Amino acid sequence: MSTRVRTRFAPSPTGNLHVGGARTALYSWLYAKKMGGDFVLRIEDTDQARSTKESVQVVLNDLKWLGYDWSEGPEVGGPLGPYYQSERLSIYKEHTERLLKAKKAYYCFCTDERLEKMKEEAIKAGRPPHYDRTCSHVSYEDAKARLEKGEKGAVRFKIPSGKDAYTFKDIIRGEVTFPSDMVGDFVILRSDGMPVYNFCCVVDDALMGITHVLRAEEHLSNTLRQMMIYESFEYPLPTFGHLSIILGADKQKLSKRHGATSCKQYEEMGFLPEAMTNFLALLGWSSPDGKEILNKEDLIKNFDLDRLHGAAAVFDEVKLKWMNATYLRELPHLDLWKRVEPFLASAGLPLTSSLWKDSGWQDKTLSVFKTSMETLKDAVPLYQLLDDETFKIQEEAKEVFTWESTKAVLAEWKKQVEGHTGDDFTEADFNTMQDAVKTNCNVKGKFLFMPLRVAVIGKAHGAELKQLVPCMKKSSLLRRAEIVSKEI
Ligand code: GLU
């Protein structure tokens, strides 16, 4: 019987989820889904100064926004918890004791000054700055007695002798070999009693039955220490995959310098989680048929560890915008409106007015606007055009008032609006009114179109009036026409 696949995402909660972290979470989630396995969320919060309740919540919210639901972990629990490392200290302590008793680890009482000096000397002499094992001869009993008396000691892992190298097969990088002497006896439990990442990670992955560890490339070098720890407990090694690095458009490692790097920022910029997921999936993986637009179901169906690749991935925001626009335009209008609403609300638009609350109007306006939207936030300037309160004649538009024909054009437009029966306009209504202005004032081209635009939206350029006017009420057009006619 094959083992049930169990993947995990193990963030250290130190702020918003970075897009790289989100990609790691996504691949782990996808693989678990694909294989009908479990996706475990573990919070690596042993750095208590940096991990607050709030910072954990931020990461959980980001994952929820993306929709990567975990089968075990915070909020949902599970049989192999706790899922916060800060609540697992007794487990690490017990594991440390096991290694101490088996002489696979020992207490070290060296002071920081001594360690620093030893390191400097080693570097000067051209030796690797490994710990010189001074304390490896302190027996377990003596160490306990010293601790009892109040001395501070850390626990060091003893690098096993008799093995020159450690080799494992990385899903992405193939066979990776580390010479054993790359590391010296390393600390697994600090003198303040806090265990270190490499130790907790192994203990947890082993006890939580994790079968596949997907994580950032920067953790590749940690794998040597981790393999040694697995071996010392005789725990089976999981399958590792170290994901390719993510670069900015300039081919440098993606950083704040490039602009937005966290999921939250993209959310605030008006990106959809669906688009973000599709985009992240392709940063290090490709679909077998080369398709680029793949929703979650497609991704789950097609995802395969074999197609993860090690080449650096470039975070191309232009592509992300294109994907976002694609997803956005596919959304049912009811759903799209719900997502656009918070952006309109924070721009102070009149969402509570009866017109803006009308679902027929929402549907009509979205059909007009969505083709001009790449992000949800792009809706703001478009809807602003329909807000009477902020209607204003733009400076650049004032040129139209210097043309001789404008006064008559504006007066005729106002007359046409006044004469319209009913409160709403169709595209045909608008065309008829515009034609009437054209004939009655004997104007055409920019002398017709630009003053009309100013009369409707306060600007001489942009927006197709034949699309916009049907989104407006007679009272609104009249009010605007009056404001504009006062300008001349
Ligand atoms: N807490 C580590 C990180 O956030 C986890 C690394 C791992 O997946 O092993 O980078």
Residue 73: the pLDDT is: 98
Which atom of ligand 1 is found nearest the CA of 11?
A: 4
Structural domain that includes position 261: 256-330
Catalytic residue among 64, 152, 256, 392: 256
| 187 Cα to the center of ligand 1, angstroms | 18
Question: What integer pLDDT is reported at residue 378 of this predicted model?
Answer: 98
CA of 385 to the centre of ligand 1 (A): 47
pLDDT value of position 230 = 98
Residue 473's contacts (CB-CB under 8 Å, 6 or more residues apart) are 355, 423, 424
For residue 291, the model assigns a pLDDT of 97
The pTM (predicted TM-score) of the whole model is 0.94
Cβ of 215 below 6 Å from ligand 1: yes
Is the Cα dihedral 452, 456, 458, 462 positive or negative?
Answer: negative
Inside any domain, residue 349 = yes
Secondary structure element (H or E) that encloses residue 214, with its range: strand 212-216
CA-proximal residue: ligand 1, atom 8 (nearest): 215
Ligand 1 near 11 CB (within 6 A): yes
CA distance 61 to 54: 10
Q: What is the pLDDT of residue 168?
A: 98
Q: Provide the number of structural domains found in the chain.
A: 3
Cβ of 214 less than 6 Å from ligand 1 = no
CATH number, residue 362: 1.10.10.350
Residue with CA nearest ligand 1 atom 5: 10
Residue (of 457, 448, 451) closest to 479 by Cα position: 457
**204 Cα–ligand 1 center, Å:** 12
Shared domain check, 382 and 339 = yes
Q: What pLDDT, on the 0 to 100 scale, is given for residue 1?
A: 59
**Closest among 405, 434, 433 to 419, alpha carbons compared:** 433
Of the candidates 330, 347, 375, which is a domain's last residue? 330
Q: Which atom of ligand 1 is nearest to the CA of 8?
A: 8
Q: Is 202 in the pocket of ligand 1 (CB under 6 A)?
A: no
Tell me the CA–centroid distance for residue 269 and ligand 1, in Å. 27
List phi, psi (to 5°) of 308.
-75, 135
Counting ligand 1 atoms within 8 A of each CB, the residue from 39, 219, 222 with the most, and so the one to mutate, is 219
Range list of β-strands (E), 158-294: 165-170, 174-179, 187-189, 212-216, 239-243, 246-247
Q: Is residue 170 part of a domain?
A: yes
Is the distance from the beta carbon of residue 45 to the nearest atom of ligand 1 less than 6 Å?
no
Answer whether residue 21 is part of any domain.
Answer: no
Residues 211 and 119 placed together within one structural domain of the fold: yes
Q: Which residues pair with 7 in a beta bridge?
A: 39, 212
| CA of 427 relative to ligand 1 center, distance in Å | 57
How confident is the model at residue 6, as a pLDDT? 98
Q: Please work out whether the CB of residue 201 comes within 6 Å of at least one atom of ligand 1.
A: yes
**How far, in Å, CA of 210 to CA of 204, rounded?**
8
**pLDDT at residue number 368:** 96
Active site residue 256: yes
Half-sphere exposure of 5 (CA within 13 A, CB side): 18
What does the angle CA 81 – CA 82 – CA 85 come to, to the nearest 5 degrees?
125
Same domain membership, residue 390 and residue 296: no
170 and 218 housed in the same domain? yes
Q: Please report the pLDDT score of residue 422 as a whole number.
A: 95
Identify which of 193, 332, 316, 196 has the alpha carbon closest to the alpha carbon of residue 259.
316
Do 93 and 234 belong together in one domain? yes
Q: Measured in angstroms, how far is the CA atom of residue 197 from the centroid of ligand 1?
A: 8
Report the CATH number at residue 166: 3.40.50.620
Whether residue 389 lies inside any domain: the answer is yes
Of ligand 1's atoms, which has the minimum distance to the CA of residue 9? Answer: 8
Q: Kindly give the residue spans of alpha helices, DSSP state H, lying in 282-426.
A: 296-302, 317-330, 333-346, 354-357, 359-369, 379-384, 406-419
Q: To which residue do tokens 């400076």 refer? A: 395
Residue 167 domain flag? yes
Q: Are residues 178 and 231 in the same domain?
A: yes
Tell me whether residue 325 is in a domain. yes
Strand partners, 215: 242
Q: Among 46, 56, 63, 197, which residue has the most ligand 1 atoms within 8 Å of its CB, making it the best to mutate? A: 197
Residues 313 and 352 placed together within one structural domain of the fold:
no
273 lines ligand 1 (CB under 6 A): no
398 is a domain residue: yes
Cα of 218 from ligand 1 centre, angstroms: 9
Spatial distance between the Cα atoms of 450 and 447, rounded to a whole number of angstroms: 6
- Write down the pLDDT at residue 456: 98
Protein residue whose Cα sits closest to atom 4 of ligand 1: 11
Q: How far is CA 130 from CA 114, 123, 134, in A?
A: 13, 10, 11
Which of 51, 198, 201, 245 most suits a substitution to test ligand 1, by most atoms within 8 Å of the C-beta? Answer: 201
For residues 221 and 136, state if they share a domain.
yes
Same domain for 323 and 342, yes or no, is no
CA distance 341 to 72: 33
Residue 47 pLDDT: 85
Question: Distance, CA 167 to ligand 1 centroid (Å)?
Answer: 21
First-to-final CA distance of the chain: 85
pLDDT per residue of the chain (488 residues) written in tens, 0 to 9? 579 999 999 999 988 999 999 999 999 999 999 999 999 999 999 987 788 899 999 999 999 999 999 999 999 999 999 999 999 999 999 999 999 999 999 999 999 999 999 999 999 999 999 999 999 999 999 999 999 999 999 999 999 998 999 999 999 999 999 999 999 999 999 999 999 999 999 999 999 999 999 999 999 999 999 999 999 999 999 999 999 999 998 999 998 888 889 999 999 999 999 999 999 999 999 999 999 999 999 999 999 999 999 999 999 999 999 999 999 999 999 999 999 999 999 999 999 999 999 999 999 999 999 999 999 999 999 999 999 999 999 999 999 999 999 999 999 999 999 999 999 999 999 999 999 999 999 999 999 999 999 999 999 998 899 999 999 999 999 999 999 999 88
Are residues 274 and 225 part of one domain?
no
Domain membership flag for residue 345 = yes
Q: Does ligand 1 have an atom closer than 6 angstroms to the CB of 10?
A: yes
Residues 183 and 319 in one domain: no
Last residue of a domain, one of 212, 243, 274: 243
Q: Say if ligand 1 is within 6 A of residue 219 CB.
A: yes
Which ligand 1 atom sits closest to the C-alpha of 205?
Answer: 9
Q: Do 154 and 216 share a domain, yes or no?
A: yes
